[in-house]
Structure 1
């Protein structure tokens, strides 16, 4: 198995992704502060498009890429196919994100945006190839493996459709309405990439972190098929407009698939041996409540959309906030400080284990920064969402300020961990 230590090139690429994601999160928080008024309008506008792609690519996808380079060998019990592909992917991905977000912010759908989309797509392709060939090394199939490989295929399709949409601004070769393809692009990313990948990884890790005895994966199989059926139905609905029942079928299939997954997590939580749950796991479990809240918004979006009511736009924006800034962000904020301490521990103490008494990974954390981050993020959710629903600019501004505190504490904590020095002076020899 590939080990993530200071002797392995994977350590540097994983750390690079964590740092870049933390920086993107801070930039995202600053963009929120300068966009509080724009968030009350239609979601298809420059600043919201820039915010969404910063959150989806620079924050969510960046951290997932880095984490997956670490976790894939662990989950599949095999070596990562290539340690060069991650660097190639990053070399294309980062400039692509910067150029894409800038092009959306000033809304220049010309050459720069086209170049950006190709750079992002190329970075995604190198990542996908690495995951695909790594999975192919694993002879024994598992539901976790199916979730992961399917999610990266959806990611590639999402990036490909996004590239086509960028070129469609200038050449208008797509026959359907641009907004229809935009909704398809968004949900392929949210459901096909983020949800499928998160289920595949978290379904393996959450029971490990909780020390849960529950190992029945039949619920995950049901979740896999229902969610993919929802996505395929959604693809069909883009070409069968006017048939209302297909939209209901999509929502029902997707909600059922997510429900099976949430029930699996509930069973893991109920059967856990470790009764005490630390703060990073609290954030992780809280993130799934935010996912459930986002799912509850979907029927309202559907109802108001079919009624051609203006609230459909507001509900769609609320859904995006709950998914990107709620569920995905809370999950990252929690899982970063379950995985990164372990990576740092391996660098400093793996070679010492068995010879001297060493700290555990959790001992490397800064409890104060962890607490500040949790409180600031909770205040962001409460004040920003309340301000959005009540139409209060002041509350949204307060929420954006809380998000900046969250991002700063997150980035400082990541840097704090990476600057850790080996400490064995205070430990007695075994």
Structure 2
């Protein structure tokens, strides 16, 4: 069945009609006015973040095999810090910001208050993040804290737009509530990161360097990244799974519990309040509740298991393993040889096992749809979403990513470079293939040409998978 230019399919992001596929007319092409050009620039903003995230993810996984020796020796090393921030700032945070720029205005029905500021935010963020990674790598601290200061400024710009949209609806449902809180944690994590970098030049922060660093890491990884991932999951999962259940009220309390636990743990690590073990237990329980809520939605789904769902389930396994390792650090000194190895495996399972699996799986459905939306606004040829996705590579990406992460983590814990190094290489291979495939998909938001294979027919169900919900955004 051919696709007529006057029709398009989309997924409705309204909370009341989540996941509903609708068919609506496309406006006839007209000369681009100033307002239409502004709409195109705003629509393409998430793509800018996605393409940067994918490129930096490829850079990060390519670097992992080269830093295994440093990681097994001690995690507080310039090359380890640079590689870690390539994933946290370059890959994960860039992808999350892109998703939020697309999702939040549609979900709250409030357009960005400062669209030009959002474009400036993208430029400042990518420029400063790459500058911070580069100067961390060579161990030069004055440019590092200067780059960190610009990151803080870009985060403030991001918060201005997001909180304008989310603020009036912060208590309406779990996604809005969680994302409002996560932005506050992003501001705190960025500010503390700047102070830690500035402290390397001036030496003014009290307390232990490792515990101060741990506070920053948990504000970022748990307060910003994990809280946002949980919130976005609560928004996306019912739409992708077409679950027969509504999201339980427990989901909101899970987000509050995670936020309270992260805030308490961060302050405890800074030495402001006692109770590191208590706050760790609160965080662990909140993450276990998240796994329970998502598992319930999956069990009551009305869609077949596809690669997005497989990545989500693999991510849940990595999350449970990461929770166990993180909890063990309450009794094992992170400064010891064993503690250092466990801390490294904890980070690998959390950032590359859980969060990366969730982002990769979500990108299979979300990124091509946003590309189609941008092409429609540009007046370029509109083709089926499956035409922009190289579906045959998804099994390879899934297997190599997860085998690589688990093997790398096992090698770190056992102090066996002969295990960790092959795991890093497998991870790098899968990550580079994903970066190349997804980079190709995203490139069609910048060029009028389209894949020739997509021009023949409209296929909402691919031949070799069951991605029944692959619809344009």
Residue 284 of structure 2 is matched in structure 1 by 255
Alpha-carbon offset, residue 139 of structure 1: 8.4
What is the alpha-carbon distance in structure 1 between the residues aligned to residue 270 and residue 137 of structure 2? Answer: 30
Q: Deviations over 1:66-124 (max 9, x none)?
A: 11111112332332323222211122111211221122112112x21121111211111
Match of 1:397 among 406, 417, 421: 421
| Corresponding residue of 2:412 | 388
Unaligned runs of 5+ in 2: 1-11, 15-35, 460-473
Is 1:285 matched up with 2:309?
Answer: no
Q: 1:238 to 1:128 in 2, by over 3 A?
A: same
CA distance in 2, matches of 1:92, 1:180: 29
Q: Is the 8 A contact 1:49 1:104 kept in 2?
A: yes
| Cα RMSD for the two superposed structures | 2.8
CA drift at 1:129: 1.1
SS in 2 for 1:114: helix
CA distance 1:427–1:31, shift in 2 (3 Å) = closer
Match of 2:252 among 209, 214, 221: 221
Structure 1 counterpart of 2:94:
62
Distance 1:86 1:2, change over 3 A: farther
Q: 1:193-243: per-residue Cα shift (whole Å, max 9, x none)?
A: 011111111111011100012214311122122112212321342355895
Mapping 1:112-261, distance limit 5 Å: 112-136=143-167, 138=169, 141-238=172-269, 240=271, 246-261=275-290
Question: Is 1:267 the equivalent of 2:292?
Answer: no
2:346 is aligned to: 319
- Contact in 1 for aligned 2:53/2:94 (Cα 8 Å): yes
Match of 1:32 in 2: 64
Q: How big is each residue's C-alpha offset from its partner over 1:293-350, in whole Å with a ceiling of 9 and x where there is no partner?
A: 10011221111129x7532222111111111111111111111111011112324468
Q: Out of 126, 137, 140, which is 1:105 matched to? A: 137
* Cα distance in 2 between the residues matched to 1:241 and 1:137: 32
Aligned residues: 418
Contact 1:30 1:404 survives alignment (8 Å): yes
Give 1:164 shift.
Answer: 0.8
Q: Contact (CA 8 Å) 2:182, 2:227: kept in 1 or not?
A: yes
On the 8 A contact 2:368/2:389 being kept in 1, the answer is yes
Tell me the secondary structure at the aligned position of residue 302 of structure 1.
Answer: coil
Whether 2:115 is the aligned partner of 1:91: answer no
Q: In the alignment, is residue 74 of structure 1 matched against residue 106 of structure 2?
A: yes
How far the C-alpha of 1:157 sits from its partner, in A, is 0.6
Distance 1:194 1:426, change over 3 A: closer
The answer on whether the counterparts of 1:82 and 1:130 sit within 8 Å (CA) in structure 2 is yes
Residue 372 of structure 1 corresponds to 396
- What is the rounded CA distance, in whole Å, between the counterparts of 1:139 and 1:372 in structure 2? 39
Of 345, 358, 370, which residue of structure 2 is paired with 1:343?
Answer: 370
Partner of 2:30: none
Could you state the TM-score of these two structures normalised by the residue count of structure 2? Answer: 0.82
Distance 1:368 1:163, change over 3 A: same
CA contact (8 A) 1:212 1:271 kept: yes
- Match for residue 327 of structure 2? 299
Q: Is the 8 A contact 2:62 2:432 kept in 1?
A: no
> 1:399 Cα deviation (Å)?
2.1
Contact 1:302 1:312 in 2 (8 A): no
Shifted more, 193-202 versus 114-123: the winner is: 114-123
Deviation larger for 221-230 or 178-187: 221-230
Distance (Å, rounded) in 2 between the aligned partners of 1:179 and 1:68: 32
Residue 79 of structure 2: aligned partner = 47
Q: Distance in 1 between matches of 2:418 and 2:51?
A: 31
SS of the residue corresponding to residue 304 of structure 1 reads coil
Q: Is the 8 A contact 1:148 1:196 kept in 2?
A: yes
Contact 1:22–1:407 under 8 Å retained in 2: no
Using a 3 Å threshold, how does the CA distance of structure 1 residues 394 and 421 change in structure 2: closer, same or farther?
same
Q: Which runs of 5+ in 1 are unaligned?
A: none
Give the alignment's TM-score, normalised by structure 1. 0.89
> Hey, what's the Cα distance between the residues in 1 that align with 2:236 and 2:230?
10
Give a deviation string over 1:384-420, Cα, whole Å, max 9, x none: 2232233332332322222222222212222332336
The worse-fitting range, judged by mean Cα deviation, of 77-86 and 97-106 is 77-86
Partners of 1:290 and 1:322 within 8 A in 2: yes
Residues 44, 374 of structure 2: 8 Å contact kept: no
Contact 1:2 1:80 in 2 (8 A): no
